[in-house]
Amino acid sequence: MTLRAQIINIILRLFEKPTLRRANDPVKLRRSFERKARMMFHPPRGTEFVRERIGGILCTRVRPPLVPQATRGPVLLYFHGGGYVFGSARTHRALAAQIGQRVGCAAVVPDYALAPENPFPAAVNDALGVFTAVAGQVGADNIIVGGDSAGGGLALALVGELLRKAAPCPVAVFAFSPLTDMTFSASSLMQNAESDVLLPADRAAEMAAVYLSGDDATDPRASPLYADFSGGPPVWLTVGDREILLDDSTRMADKLRAAGLDVSLNVAQDLPHVWPLFHALVPEARATLDELAGWLRMRLH
């Protein structure tokens, strides 16, 4: 692990984890994350951003430099993280641009509905609406679906819902440190409670309650771990070995392989939750994005 990654771990443990542990105002949390994103997360120079409604949902279209304006894909549909409570297209558009530049494609980052104002299944319905609209423009087989943390879980839940509806699926799916089990039954939740430098395990149940608002945590749209992925597209997952969500990825990979899918699982040592967000600061983040892009290019071509 590089010195920069060690420093990020220290900063997250000393400042960000305590902030998440005591946060109780979603609006303040959203504003704070957006301020930090502007300072730390930077797109490739020359990236173009356009705000527009797609499928009735406000989204940001992202066109990295040297990526042509094409009416036919490929297109990256990226779902931001934030526990279904905070995060936005503004906090994650730089990451989507970094991936798009490496792959050679444009991206769409939706501002899907957030809890507590819009609890489950609002986010899934928004994801389905945006995917359907983009598929109508470029074709489902020209779409890559990805996301991080809760957004990674949303990406997988979307695919599970498409398969349930026997609808066309994306060409490939990826997720950084995805949240796949809202029952929080995995052993890593407690085993890594201290080693996780960012996520406070003691607030997981509260976050789930805010998002689900009384609905069943085992609903596959909320917890894709319980979805049927038979006949689904290839999936790429990565997670840190010290995260409380470690088992959300390892169990998800087992579930997908049992369904016959092509699955790539990468477990990184000592890296924080969704470390690719720190692409401007941490060499390991850029290496992960390069690895993902190589995998995606193979699926596209």
Give mean pLDDT, residues 15-41. 97
With bands split at pLDDT 50, 70 and 90, how would you rate the model's confidence at 229? very high
Q: Is the pLDDT of residue 140 over 80?
A: yes
- How many whole angstroms separate alpha carbon 215 and alpha carbon 61? 32
Give mean pLDDT, residues 132-141. 96
Q: What is the pLDDT of residue 159?
A: 98
Do the beta carbons of residue 144 and residue 78 sit within 8 Å? no
Query: How many percent of the chain have pLDDT more than 90?
Result: 97
Q: What is the pLDDT of residue 237?
A: 99
Give mean pLDDT, residues 164-173. 98
Q: Is the pLDDT of residue 85 over 80?
A: yes
Which pTM does this prediction carry? 0.98
Q: Is the pLDDT of residue 70 over 80?
A: no
Q: What is the pLDDT of residue 16?
A: 97
Residues acting as catalytic residues: 149, 243, 273
Q: What is the pLDDT of residue 68?
A: 79
Inter-axis angle of helices 283-300 and 3-11, nearest 10: 100
Q: What is the pLDDT of residue 66?
A: 87
Q: What is the pLDDT of residue 72?
A: 74
Cα dist from 158 to 130, 141, 193, 206, whole Å: 11, 15, 28, 23
Give mean pLDDT, residues 216-241. 98
Q: What is the pLDDT of residue 27?
A: 97
Q: Is the pLDDT of residue 71 over 70?
A: no
Write a three-state SS string for the chain.
Answer: CCHHHHHHHHHHHHHHHHHHHHCCCHHHHHHHHHHHHHHHCCCCCCCEEEEEEECCEEEEEEECCCCCCCCCCCEEEEECCCCCCCCCHHHHHHHHHHHHHHHCCEEEEECCCCCCCCCCCHHHHHHHHHHHHHHHHHCHHHEEEEEECHHHHHHHHHHHHHHHCCCCCCCEEEEECCCCCCCCCCCHHHHCCCCCCCCCHHHHHHHHHHHHCCCCCCCCCCCHHHCCCCCCCCEEEEEECCCCCHHHHHHHHHHHHHCCCCEEEEEECCCCCCHHHHCCCCHHHHHHHHHHHHHHHHHHC
The pLDDT mean for the chain works out to: 97
Pick the CATH number of 3-300 from 3.40.50.720, 3.20.20.100, 3.40.1440.10, 3.40.50.1820: 3.40.50.1820
Q: Is the pLDDT of residue 240 over 70?
A: yes
- How many whole angstroms separate alpha carbon 21 and alpha carbon 203? 7
Q: What is the pLDDT of residue 219?
A: 98
With bands split at pLDDT 50, 70 and 90, how would you rate the model's confidence at 277? very high
Q: What is the pLDDT of residue 73?
A: 76
Q: Write down the domain spans for the chain.
A: 3-300
